[in-house]
């Protein structure tokens, strides 16, 4: 396929590098590629002595506005929007024979799904070749490997076996890299060993134990724990020899007093015991309690000890801020990446922070790809948009003589009976819409399918009721999509 790529003068070198020698490039008479107009394109095309029908398609920059129908007619080939950024041209051209490009939507957006697959393939390749000072069950920590997400199961030592194993399975489904078993102060020592044993039955992921209690830590070490959270001046003298002998990794935290100085002292003490597998936690403070200073502490530590993996407690911020966690986690992950963090920690404990494991996992992938491309974390094939749109579709024009809507005063109950609609968890851990009727209960995740079945079974007989059910079922479907609660007839 013969393709002509049109660009501006400033982007010439970038475009030629991106497309290679087999694709023709047309430099239009404008410095900025986004300022290409139909007239400028025709003028430059003719000045280069190109003939009508010489190419199978012309790609213009994805950000160029305007109608290029006249150009297509004159050149004898379609004119499509290429990607928004020149460095994506090579990628887009690869699919020119298989994907129908558009004169309205940039090629990079059309290829989003394919780009996502390519992005994760690239991440897997980079992770396989990455160096890391610590490796547990194939999971690399530190070095130039991707930041790993550690999810804490709070009070794991006091959970019964079934509940603990269901939480382990849940965290695994969410994509966690390391499972942290939190131990409360009142947890019996023997329960630590049992919790680790029960968790091991469910996963091959690395396990950590979260406690300062020496007895708990000893029990965890005997059970073969991979990582101990945490060591400081209160327990290091008691546990140092055993940890050094067993070779498990430890997260070292500051003691009382200056967080940076005491952290350095505790690391020095750990090394004196012969402990080699060290992860440092300079402690990320919540916003309003020294957040900025704590980030500076991370940066200072990284400059001093570039080879020691860093523990980054993202949950310290998300749990103590009343805002949607997805944007906070994305930003925290960017900060963590810049200070060289190796582990992103979240307890995903409160309702408002549910989903943090998946959010941090995605954000970690974005930061790694951005690093590889030497770019900002955008246009990577992976994103974290949940509510806002990267590209809005245009509104329609207001029709003339439109009638203003108003509610009907003639609402009557459906003779076929009423429905109670809610959301329930099934055994697989997923949420389903439940539509209960006196004759039959219907469950599903898709509002349209449930309504179709209600109609097919004759459980609704009035237009008003059908319209009402459509509205409520769709609200329930959206609630599942965004992991929100749902109550019938409440505003969403």
Average pLDDT for the chain? 93
Which of 340, 337, 359 has its CA nearest to residue 348? Answer: 359
Nearest C-alpha neighbor of 361 from the set 123, 99, 192: 123
Whether residue 250 contacts residue 192, with contact meaning beta carbons closer than 8 Å, is answered with no
CA terminus-to-terminus distance, the chain: 50
Q: What is the pLDDT of residue 448?
A: 95
pLDDT value at residue 85? 86
Range from 74-78, 96-100, 342-346 carrying the lowest mean pLDDT: 96-100
pLDDT at 428 over 80: no
Q: What would the mean pLDDT of 32-43 be, rounded to a whole number?
A: 93
Residue 257: is its pLDDT beyond 90? no
Work out the pLDDT band at 193, boundaries 50, 70, 90. very high
Which of 83-97, 190-204, 234-248 is predicted with the least confidence, judged by mean pLDDT?
83-97
- pLDDT band at 97, cuts 50/70/90? confident
Mean pLDDT of the region 225-229: 96
What does the pLDDT look like over 370-402, one tens digit per residue?
Answer: 999 888 999 888 999 998 887 676 677 888 889
What percentage of the chain has pLDDT greater than the value 70? 99
Q: Stretch 121-125: mean pLDDT, rounded?
A: 95
Overall average pLDDT of the 416-445 stretch: 91
pLDDT at position 218, please?
96
Q: Is the four-CA dihedral 358, 350, 297, 271 of positive or negative sign?
A: negative
Among 387-396, 406-415, 429-438, the range with the most confident prediction by mean pLDDT is: 429-438
Q: Please tell me the distance from the alpha carbon of residue 427 to that of residue 218, in angstroms, as a whole number.
A: 35
- Within its chain, how far is the Cα of 366 from the centroid? 8
């Amino acid at each position: 396929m013969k393709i002509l790529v049109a660009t501006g003068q400033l982007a010439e070198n970038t475009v030629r590098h991106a497309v290679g020698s087999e694709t023709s490039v047309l430099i239009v008479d404008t410095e900025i590629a986004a300022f290409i107009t139909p007239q400028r394109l025709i003028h430059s095309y003719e000045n280069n002595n190109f003939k009508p029908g010489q190419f199978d398609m012309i790609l213009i920059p994805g950000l160029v506005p305007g109608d290029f129908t006249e150009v297509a007619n004159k050149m004898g080939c379609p004119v499509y929007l290429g990607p928004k950024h020149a460095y994506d041209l090579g990628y887009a051209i690869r699919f020119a024979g298989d994907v129908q490009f558009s004169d309205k939507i940039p090629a990079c957006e059309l290829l989003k799904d394919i780009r996502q697959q390519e992005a994760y393939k690239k991440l897997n390749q980079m992770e396989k070749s990455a160096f890391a000072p610590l490796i547990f069950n194939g999971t690399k920590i530190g070095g130039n490997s991707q930041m790993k997400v550690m999810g804490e199961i709070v009070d794991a030592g006091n959970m019964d076996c079934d509940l603990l194993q269901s939480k382990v399975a849940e965290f695994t489904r969410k994509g966690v890299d390391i499972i942290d078993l939190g131990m409360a102060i009142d947890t019996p020592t023997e329960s630590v060993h049992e919790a680790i044993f029960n968790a091991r039955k469910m996963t091959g992921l690395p396990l950590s134990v979260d406690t300062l209690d020496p007895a708990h830590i000893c029990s965890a070490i005997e059970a073969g724990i991979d990582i101990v959270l945490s060591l400081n001046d209160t327990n290091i003298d008691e546990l140092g020899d055993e940890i050094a002998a067993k070779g498990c990794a430890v997260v070292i935290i500051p003691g009382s007093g200056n967080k940076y100085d005491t952290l350095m002292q505790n690391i020095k003490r750990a090394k004196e015991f012969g402990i080699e597998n060290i992860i440092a936690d300079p402690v990320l403070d919540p916003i309003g309690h020294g957040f900025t200073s704590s980030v500076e502490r991370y940066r200072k530590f990284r400059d001093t000890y570039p080879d020691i993996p860093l523990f980054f407690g993202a949950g310290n911020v998300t749990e103590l801020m009343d805002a949607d966690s997805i944007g906070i986690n994305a930003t925290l992950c960017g900060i963590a990446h810049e200070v060289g963090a190796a582990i992103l920690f979240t307890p995903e404990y409160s309702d408002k922070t549910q989903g943090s494991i998946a959010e941090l996992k995605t954000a970690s992938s974005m930061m790694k790809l951005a690093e590889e491309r030497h770019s900002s974390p955008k246009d990577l094939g992976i994103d974290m948009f949940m509510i806002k749109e990267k590209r809005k579709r245009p509104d329609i024009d207001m029709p003339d003589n439109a009638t203003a809507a108003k509610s009907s005063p003639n609402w009557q109950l459906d003779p076929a009976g009423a429905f109670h609609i809610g959301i329930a968890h099934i055994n697989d851990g997923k949420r389903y819409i439940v539509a209960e009727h006196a004759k039959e209960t219907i469950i599903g995740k898709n509002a349209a399918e449930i309504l179709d079945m209600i109609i097919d079974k004759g459980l609704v007989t009035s237009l008003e009721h059908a319209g009402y059910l459509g509205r409520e079922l769709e609200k329930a479907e959206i609630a599942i999509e965004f992991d929100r609660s749902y109550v019938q007839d409440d505003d969403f």
